[in-house]
A and B are shown apart, each in its own frame.
Chain A
Amino acid sequence: MPVDVEARVISNTRLSPDYNVIALAAPEIADAAAPGQFVMVKPGRGGDPLLRRPFSVFEVLRVNGRVEGLTLLSKRIGITTSMLFDAVEGDTVSCLGPLGKPFELVDPPAQAWMVAGGVGLAPFATLGEALAARGTPTTLFYGARSGKELFYLDWFASRGITLKLATEDGTHGDRGRITVPLERELQQAGSADVTVYACGPEPMLEAVAHLAERHGRPSQVSVERVMGCGMGGCYSCVIPVKDAGGGQHYVRSCIGGPVFKGAELVWD
């Protein structure tokens, strides 16, 4: 059951001129959230912005083993993300969650390959931790426009997660999109049991889902659609899903997702 918390801003760390990680004192939500779930966030009380915006839970914050809150990884694009970028310690942010269907985890000897594009890194901190705790060999494929926009590399490495990087300007890792190293590794994967997880821009998700399918590997993708309520009330965040009969129907990504099997989505 989701709860709504007027969460105090514990800290706000700017990672770049666009990206920030904001820590919110919402332990009830952080404690209940499973990897891949999201929160609906509203900074400020006014009518602009009016609606909440969805964010993946990035990290679960623990102090001496006790859950203190959660963080959100945000990229400044619109009103809400600008407010989150500018927020200071002691501000409050309304935070509703946890919401949505989480990732399904895999156990060793199966491997988990997490594929992140830009701010799509967000769900993979909690997923990576959960997989590491099960001993599942985990790799993070992480792509961005430039090396300056690759964040938390040490964080993932220190948890035993293998990194494969790509940047569009070639400043770090492979030059080009993250599908470059992903395709190379899939070609070399032999008979390894691999599940691909992906989050990022939809064209990337489509490419990753197709690559996984072509190489006979299952994929789980976390989509982001324009969302009104996060609770299944408004029917705005729909995504087309394949029918058994060969047709398609719209599924609300807030309650039917945000995680879908890559093979079940119709890319529109």
Chain B
Amino acid sequence: MDLSVAIGSLRLRNPLMAASGCFGYGVEYADAVDLASIGAVVSKGLFVKERSGHPPQRIVETPSGMLNAIGLQGIGVHRYIKEKLPELRRLGATNVINICGSTLDEYVELARILSDAEGVHALELNISCPNIKEGGITFGCSLHGTFDVVAAVKKVTHLPVIPKLTPNVTDVASIAKAAEEAGADAVSLVNTFLAMAIDVETRRPKLSNIVGGLSGPAIRPIAVRMVYECRRAVKIPIIGMGGIATATDALEFIIAGATAVQVGTANFVDPFIWSKLLDGMGDYLRRHGVARVADLVGSIDTSTRDKQWISS
């Protein structure tokens, strides 16, 4: 049974990735989880410089989900390389670095810096954070912006480049297509859905930032649909995410067309989720006589069927 998958030139030992912003810098979980057992660890979003993020309150729970407006608090790329990367290398993690810029030049600078760092395996371009005003999502919300940032980063790095797409657009498949045309090695989707919650007793927003991004099981069916639409629009690999909490959820994304998946909110609930997801996927492959998880990618069957008598 083969759980490995390929994202461009990047080979993952299995299709599970820890989603950016949901796993700290990875080292926080090293006591609880063998980082080498996860397909890849995606770092918390990094700018060139340190950022303090938004004031609390930064999260609020909603039905089957949560809103967050962390504001990309972070240590900046230089401290990351100095303080976190050596430990991640030692632990055998496959490191995908999520990079954020206020300008196109900042993405390019980050890509240059990280391309020279030992132990970086791919770059995920954050062009989809809904919680900060500057940069980021302004690229991800337009075809030209997406094309330009991907093309510019591709010029300066040998690493696989994976733009992370926002669902807060009319047609995510067209954005994926722009990314592919610019040379992206894969796309990851979806980032969170822009949302808000209000305390009716005080009439105040529950988040200090007023609006935030919705994640968790509540968004899963929308995210699956968006992965399915992108699968039909592009040939490059898709990394799917949005509310995955069980092996069945992960397989749903893979069958819809994702080559790999990211897990975010569910890791908050259960930091030991990774081995459970792997076991569940292995059971599925055995039960269905499928040798390689890669064979399931995009295997959705939408043909019309004759009625079948299914004995239970």
Contact = CB atoms under 8 A, between A and B. Distances in A.
Interface stretch (A10-18, A44-52, A60-68, A108-116): A44-52
Interface residues of B, number: 35
B56 A47 contact: no
A147 interface: no
Given A49-B61, A233-B24, A250-B53, A1 B31 contact: yes
A211 to B, nearest CB: 24
Contact of B58 (A229, A232, A238, A255): A238
Interface string A1-28: 1101000000000000000000000000
Contacts of B289: none
A231 B32 contact: yes
A267 to B, nearest CB: 13
Interface in A211-268: 225-226, 228-229, 231-239, 249-250, 255, 268
Given A2-B32, A50-B64, A229 B56 contact: no
B216 A255 contact: no
A255 to B, nearest CB: 7
B28 A232 contact: yes
B52 A250 contact: yes
Contacts of B216: 47, 50
B199 to A, nearest CB: 12
A164 interface: no
Contact of B23 (A51, A96, A233, A268): A233
Contacts of A255: 28
Contacts of B21: 234-235
A47 B59 contact: no
Interface in B20-40: 21-24, 28-29, 31-32
Contacts of A48: 63-64
Contacts of B262: none
B57 interface: yes
Interface of A: 1-2, 4, 42, 47-52, 96, 225-226, 228-229, 231-239, 249-250, 255, 268
